[in-house]
């Protein structure tokens, strides 16, 4: 399952401040935060699902097209506004492409664990079709 969360922002002439706080706009306590930067427009990333990890993805700068697929429905979201966060939980395949000057922040509820990854699309389809 995935959906967009609108983040509170406070703007004035000196700039914009955007807030995430648990539990209001952050559905879990964060144990890890990583950033994806120095991206280029022609190389896509992602191509995996997580078995149990929950994530929030925010484009801090620029834009990226994120395709999310839960095995039944597939949707592409243009993420180009730091006040919009994508919340992903459950087994969702993600592909990120068309990076344009983008810095992505990914907030996670758990530590990095390769065993939590599904990197093979056929395996992903088998697992989601069993549910």
d(CA 39, CA 107): 18
**Sole binder of ligand TYD in the list 7, 26, 36, 118 (CB under 6 A):** 36
User: Cα-flanking dihedrals φ and ψ of residue 78, to 5°?
Assistant: -90, 115
Span interacting with ligand TYD, options 18-26, 28-36, 65-73, 76-84, rule CB under 6 A: 28-36
Q: Which is nearer to ligand TYD, 36 or 66 (CB)?
A: 36
In whole angstroms, the minimum distance from the beta carbon of 17 to ligand TYD comes to 26
Alpha helices in the chain (DSSP H): 121-130
Establish whether 48 is a catalytic residue: yes
Distance (Å, whole) CA 103 – CA 121: 26
Q: d(Cα 35, Cα 81) in Å, to the nearest integer?
A: 16
Q: Which residues are catalytic?
A: 48
Which residues of the shown chain bind ligand TYD in the complex (CB under 6 A)?
32, 34, 36, 45-46, 112
């Amino acid at each position: 399952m995935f959906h967009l969360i609108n983040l509170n922002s406070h703007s004035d002439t000196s700039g914009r401040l955007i807030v995430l706080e648990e539990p209001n706009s952050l559905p879990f306590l964060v144990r890890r935060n990583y950033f994806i930067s120095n991206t280029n427009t022609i190389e896509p990333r992602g191509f995996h699902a997580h078995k149990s990890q929950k994530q929030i993805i925010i484009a801090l700068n620029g834009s990226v097209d994120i395709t999310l697929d839960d095995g039944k429905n597939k949707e592409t979201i243009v993420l180009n506004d730091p006040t919009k966060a994508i919340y992903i939980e459950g087994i969702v395949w993600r592909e990120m492409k068309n990076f344009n000057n983008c810095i992505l922040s990914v907030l996670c509820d758990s530590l990095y664990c390769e065993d939590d990854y599904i990197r093979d699309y056929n395996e992903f389809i088998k697992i989601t079709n069993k549910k």
